[in-house]
Amino acid sequence: MEKTMTVTGYKSYELNIRSAKDERLPYIKYALKQRLISFIENGGEWILTSGQLGIELWTCEIVAELREEYPVKYAIIPPFNNQEKRWSEQDQELYLRLILEADYYALLCQDDYKGPYQFTTKDSWLIEKSDCCLMLVDDQFPGSVKYFMERAIEYSGRNNYPIYYITPFDLNDMIRELQENDQTL
């Protein structure tokens, strides 16, 4: 049974989302929320992220809301100390708030950024500590998610490790369906 899921995907700037008021954001969060609810209703208990901008922080926000209705927890496991130091003030505030609300928080490496190996270590740790993963990504244009995706696919080939995707096509279908049913977010 899948009890722990790693969630990752594009960073906000890779989606060209610069503000919490971006009109696309409610649709992305809706798609994530639907997948998270399905996971939780099928026995899921933990959501793991590294707390990166974009999909990962939005996932933590959603899980924090879902905890009011479901027995679900989330963990933020950054690859190194001060990963947020170059982020905007608004993003830093969100990150720090979500860390305080997290059910678990720990640094993989106590040092500040030292090199790309810290991201590789983070990807391996998240995959090995979870039963499955969910990625919001277009595999033709994976951006920074590429490295996690490659490692997850490789790991999945050797282990029972389901990989779930939300693609741009899934988002477009969901938007079309909501519009056809006169639902707005």
What pTM does this model have?
A: 0.96
Distances (CA, A) of 185 to 49, 93, 133: 25, 25, 26
Q: What is the CATH number of domain 4-180?
A: 3.40.50.450
> Can you give the C-alpha Rg of the chain in angstroms?
16
What average pLDDT does range 152-178 have in this prediction? 94
pLDDT at 175: 86
pLDDT tens-digit profile of 94-142?
Answer: 999 999 999 999 999 999 999 999 999 999 999 999 999 999 999 899 9
The ranges assigned to domains in the chain are 4-180
Give the angle subtended at the CA of 152 by the CAs of 147 and 153, to the nearest 5°: 100
For the chain, strand residue ranges (E) read 4-9, 46-49, 73-76, 104-105, 132-136, 163-166
